[in-house]
Chain A
């Protein structure tokens, strides 16, 4: 009897031990993978980027690997979409399992730098003096650079040549808001939709609105200035006049681009990255820079990813990390990146010169990128996401008719001040 009792106890203990083991096994495997990315002497370096479209065997993957080979290590590359990448980075930073190299959308750089999860380029021993200051700006916090742009893109107005011809509009005549509005009215009168854009309630919406906002002379520290109201009134009037489709309120940049590719819209506000797609459209296309209110090119926000080095427990790894980053950011490296990513403009003068040698027809884009402005520049840094959220909310409120532009921007300014304490 005693024997029986004991065997039952042992069996029960075994069951619970197994279940505990299963749990500890989970955590243990988590730890060990963390160690492998942080251990010195290991010759595998981890690399995260937001380009899931570039799969194993793609040019991009091979390039990343080539830079690893040059530094004498293997690169283990993982691609996430942008939002998932930010979350993964935060979690891995919390657990001390950060990758060695990460590429991330530029407005997120100052936020990450603020957490201490990435090291500065000075700590890494990387010289940033060759990078265009307006492009590097998004990665600079209190005078210290935390990443290098691997290329830059920005926004412009693409047009459908057929529709403009039918309406008798000469794209070269569009030089300021008045001439743009005149062109849109003419297109509308000819029976086509005049323009579309992305007014979605996310960062993309703010990104698309900023050229008009800055082009009117408004400043992100004062969202309800008369210039800001004028910029928002411009968008609202396009919707009210039926020049832009209602869907612009919920469009992402991809959706807006698809509307344009349908061949029913005269103009679309979109980015450098669509140059190849525009060339493949079923109709002739062209592009102009976004006009500022009173003429000239509006400062468009810079887009594009920064390459960064997350903090590691073992600082001996930084040496190889620096070599990998240097390999990606030589003038040749920038041009290769530019080619891989459909006209990602190099962020250095050398890179731009070399790029223009190969693609002289893209000088407009290079000029636009040189004139562009970082969203987190003006020392907005980590306040930018908070301000931007209020801005896109106001844009949506005004366009959907919930509030007037003035009221919406007044509310946005109040909320932004409350959130940032500026």
Chain B
């Protein structure tokens, strides 16, 4: 009996595979091989998800949370959330926050990626500089943004003042608070878009461009007729990932405005966080309900993406 090599990922070399076709083999072997993965998925994906749903369909006030005897309330928490006067404005703020952020992050990221595709002196260095927002701890960048946007002594207002624009109360006015956090979030998201789109550009073969230039296409036509269409799969995944990240952004908004003033920069994610941790009276059940609504929204877009991709393959 010769021993067969079994590689780390359980792939069996060909003699073994041939044998398996003959013998049925114990199903337990398969289970045993899958066990680590199943245990991992159950512990780190299924359990938190189930727990989140469990929180949202019980009335976990703080006493019930400690004593573990929360009353079952069905969909009451969801009904409360949806009928709350905060829901429409939080939903609209979320749409604006995610939509505007993604649009600008993608457009600027793509422009920079195309720009850096032409290798020039220092392009590597400059590209690295654009990654800085990614490397900074969020507490640092968010605090810096809120200082820069300070109404009375922030650098942005003093610059605007120098060119004759009056004081803008960036983060203390309900009219501009959402804009302020969106601007900061766009800045944060550009490196991610730049990196993914840039690597996508590397995969477009050079001869396509050669052919385009032989056909007399200018830079603008080349971009719209060659780069953009060939980049579509990468773009789709970039936007999808960006969407999922942006939907659940809490930190930057929390640090800059706490969702205020007057709830003007409150998104669903911040609302969820505030219910759970932002007040002296943690309300985990409504927080979980809002969180689950967010998961469903992300899931819808995820499925839309899968569907889109499948259609493209066919």
**A396 partner residues in chain B, CB cutoff 8 A:** 260-262
In the complex the two chains form, is A16's CB within 8 Å of B35's CB? yes
Number of A-B residue pairs, CB cutoff 8 Å, is 139
Chain A residues whose CB sits within 8 angstroms of the CB of B62 once the complex forms: 90, 111, 114-115
Residue A389 CB within 8 A of the other chain = yes
B66 at interface by CB-CB < 8 Å: yes
Q: How many residues of A contact B (CB 8 A)?
A: 52
Determine whether the beta carbon of B264 is less than 8 Å from that of A12: no
B259: A residues at CB distance < 8 A: 201
A contact residues around B67 at 8 Å (CB): 115-116
User: Given A90-B66, A114-B63, are A402 and B33 neighbors across the interface (CB < 8 Å)?
Assistant: no
Q: Using a CB-CB cutoff of 8 Å, which residues 81-97 of chain A contact chain B? A: 83, 86-87, 90, 93-94
Nearest A-chain residue to B62, judged by Cβ: A115
Q: Is A266 located at the chain interface by the 8 A CB criterion?
A: no
Chain A residues positioned under 8 Å from B172 (CB to CB)? 246-247, 249-250, 399-400
Question: Which chain A residues (372-420) contact chain B, with CB distance < 8 Å?
Answer: 382, 384-386, 388-389, 393, 396-397, 399-403, 408
Q: Is the CB of A23 within 8 A of B43?
A: yes
Tell whether B32 is near chain A: CB-to-CB under 8 Å: yes
With an 8 A cutoff between CB atoms, is A8 at the interface? yes
On whether A87 and B152 interact (CB within 8 A), knowing A15-B33, A115-B66, the answer reads no
Residues of chain B contacted by A422 (CB below 8 angstroms):
none
- The reply to whether A13 and B1 form a contact with Cβ atoms under 8 Å apart is no
The listed residue (A13, A19, A403) touching B39 by CB distance below 8 A is A19
- 3 closest A-B pairs (Cβ-Cβ)? A385-B280, A16-B35, A246-B151
A interface, CB within 8 angstroms of B = 1, 3-5, 8-9, 11-13, 15-16, 19-20, 23, 83, 86-87, 90, 93-94, 107-108, 111, 114-117, 193, 200-203, 245-247, 249-250, 382, 384-386, 388-389, 393, 396-397, 399-403, 408
Given contacts A12-B33, A19-B36, A116-B67, 6 further A-B contacts (CB under 8 A): A4-B3, A93-B66, A115-B62, A117-B66, A249-B260, A389-B281
Chain B residues within CB distance 8 Å of chain A: 1, 3-4, 6, 19, 23, 25-26, 28-29, 32-33, 35-36, 39-40, 43, 62-63, 65-68, 146, 150-153, 167, 169, 171-174, 257-264, 277-282
22 contacts between A and B (CB under 8 A): A5-B23, A9-B28, A12-B29, A12-B32, A19-B36, A83-B277, A90-B65, A93-B66, A108-B280, A115-B66, A117-B66, A201-B258, A202-B278, A250-B260, A385-B280, A389-B279, A396-B262, A397-B261, A397-B262, A399-B261, A400-B174, A401-B174
